[in-house]
Amino acid sequence: MKKLIVELPDPLHESLRRKSALLDKTIKEIVTDLLRRFLAEPLAGKVRETGLCGLWKDEPGSADEISKKILSGRRWPTRKRPEW
């Protein structure tokens, strides 16, 4: 079993401590239950889709070929040199 250390603002921790005592549960039980419910929620419709998944079509090549291809497509900024 792994440990998780979380820093909470004092008012939040105090509220959590009081409510856990009223419910006769440990803080660990409450937090574990909250995390389980949070992780069980489906992500459908909540994840921003870009439409770019699976669109990369390229032939594999050597590292040098790939680097040259990437660098050739970049637009390097040009600075104007000050005229002294």
Least confident segment among 2-6, 8-12, 36-40, 54-58: 54-58
25 pLDDT more than 80: yes
| Domain segments of the chain as ranges | 10-40
* Residue 66: predicted pLDDT: 80
What residues have CB less than 8 Å from 16, skipping those under 6 apart?
8, 27, 30, 31
Give the predicted TM-score (pTM) of the model. 0.50
**Model confidence over 36-78: pLDDT tens digits?**
999 998 776 666 666 666 566 667 778 888 888 778 877 766 6
